[in-house]
Each structure stands twice: as structure tokens, then as C-alpha cells.
Amino acid sequence: MEAENHTEVPQFLLLGFSDDPKLQPVLCGVFLSMYLFTVLGNLLIIVAISSDSHLHTPMYFFLSNLSFVDICFTSTTVPKMLVNVQAQSKNISYIGCLIQLYFFMIFGGMDNFLLTVMAYDRYVAICHPLYYTVIMNPRFCGFLVLMSWFIIFWVSLLHTLLVRRLSCVGTEIPHFFCELAQILKVACSDTLINNIVLYVSVALLGVIPVTGILFSYSRIVSSLMRISSAGGKYKAFSTCGSHLSVVSLFYGTSLGVYLSSALTHSSLQNSVASVMYTLVTPMLNPFIYSLRNKDVKGALRRLLKIAAPCL
């Protein structure tokens, strides 16, 4: 694709999954079901938290934001994939690919930031309970979320503009959506600047949040060890169980995708591995929080009781 005229190749081909026509209805049914479960599950969490005054706390404020981001994160890739599978097409326009890339990075980055902020919230709640309401006040919580949006907005825009300046990009992307690493792999022009910015972004926006989460939980474990009663330890750690499960799932699947991409050149295996963090993780998050959290389960039961007479 020439820099002077990006309309010479107006679209990309997302190679994605199998070309076997017999598998297309199966793929469409499976991914559509998973997508609907993801949207409905996270939407239920948002409505339950919004409608229950008992859940108007920093922890659930961040959880509702996480559910919203998960819906958006999944919606950037799955609907287009479903359309392509149903139409037995692999096409995506050049502008559509850049837009998908941009929003995928925004919502994926916000997932990362929100999990870090939630870890900090649990650290303050357990290690500094007397100052919790003072530190985690509504203004500070709003500031943390807005700052996360601000940072990831500009980082994603920078990556997208750097991709836009590439003078030559291959038309076949070995994935089911426009992922930055895969686009850079098929670029036939110099991607040195793109790769440098990518590695710096991963170092700053990946390693630092993970370090923050590990630090928070190390301090939490240290505080729990000083609690004498087993009941007190269980009660304190139960508030972290759901978040810790989601963190393990998110970073575990992300690491799995990275290792899969590094160890194999199979586009099919990379696509299957990517499904874990783009669809499976957002789908499981509502179940993890509703099954392990008594407050959320109570709010959902009250919400269903209110909705039942209207059905």
C-alpha cells in the first residue's frame, strides 16, 4: 500500500479461523452465544450495582466500569467476526481496520488499568481500613478512572497514527481482528519506530500495573498474616477473591497468547489463543463476581424480584 494513495488497497483480509464451509454455522453459533452471554452478564452487573444503594461503594464503582469496558472490548471484534463468518467473507476496510485497532487498544488498556485500580482499592480497604473512606472518596475514584481513560486514549491514538504512516502493509492479516502486533508483522516497510513505541508502551503500561497489583497483594497478604483469627482472615481475603480470580484469568490468558505467538507461526493457533482474552475472560467475569460475592448475588436476586412481575 503506497503512502500517497491508501485507497489502492481499500481493504484487508482477516484470515481468522477455518475456511471449511461446514464449520461456519458452528463458529457463528458458538461465538454468538458467547458474545450474548458476555453482554447480558456484564449488563446485569451494571444494572444491579446502579439499582442497589448498598453497592454504591468504590469497589463496585470500579466493577461497574470494568463490566462496561468488557462489553465494549468484546464488541470491537466479535460483531465484525460474526458478520464475516455469516457472509463467508474475510474483508475489512482499511479505515475499519484502523478504527477496530484503536478501540481494541483503548478497551484492552482500560481493562488493565481498572484491574490495577481495583487492586489498590482492596489494598487500602484491608491495610488502611480506618482511612478507607477518606482516601477512596468519590472524587479520587473518579479521578483514577478519568486519568486511565486519558492515558490510554493518547497511547492508542499514537499507535494508530504510527500504523497510518506505514508506506507498505500486506493485505492479509493472520488473525480474526486487526491486532497491532499482527499488522506490524505483515508490514513490508520499516516498522522500527512502531516496534520501539510498542515495547515502551508494554513496559510502562503493562509492567507497571502488574507490579502495582503484585505490590498491593503482597501488602494484603502481609496484613492478613497478622490477623490472629481464621475467621477474620477469611472475611478479609474473601473481598479479594473475585478480583484475584479475574486478574489471574486476564493476565494468564494474555501471557498465553504472547507465548503462543512467540512459539508458533500458526495463525489458527494464535487466533484460538486470542479468543481466551478477547471473549472468554470478559464472559466469565460476571460469573466470577456473582458466584463469589454475596453482595452482588443479593443485588441480582433483588433485581430479578423487581423484574419478575413485569415479565
Packed helices 230-263 and 208-225: angle between N→C axes, nearest 10 degrees: 160
Give the burial string for 86-116 (b: 16+ CB within 10 Å, else e). eeeebebebeebbebbbbbbbbbbbbbbbbb
Show the cell assigned to 196.
520501539
pLDDT 10s per residue in the chain (311 long)?
Answer: 444 444 445 678 887 776 667 777 888 888 899 999 999 999 989 988 888 788 888 988 999 999 999 999 999 999 988 888 887 778 888 898 899 999 999 999 999 999 999 999 999 988 888 999 999 999 999 999 999 999 999 999 999 999 988 877 767 788 888 888 888 888 888 888 999 999 899 888 888 999 999 999 999 888 878 776 666 666 666 678 788 888 888 888 777 766 666 565 566 666 777 787 788 888 888 888 776 677 777 777 777 666 656 55
- Give me the residues paired with residue 14 across strands: 173
Show the cell assigned to 203.
513496559
pTM over 0.75: yes
CATH topology classification for 9-310: Rhopdopsin 7-helix transmembrane proteins (1.20.1070)
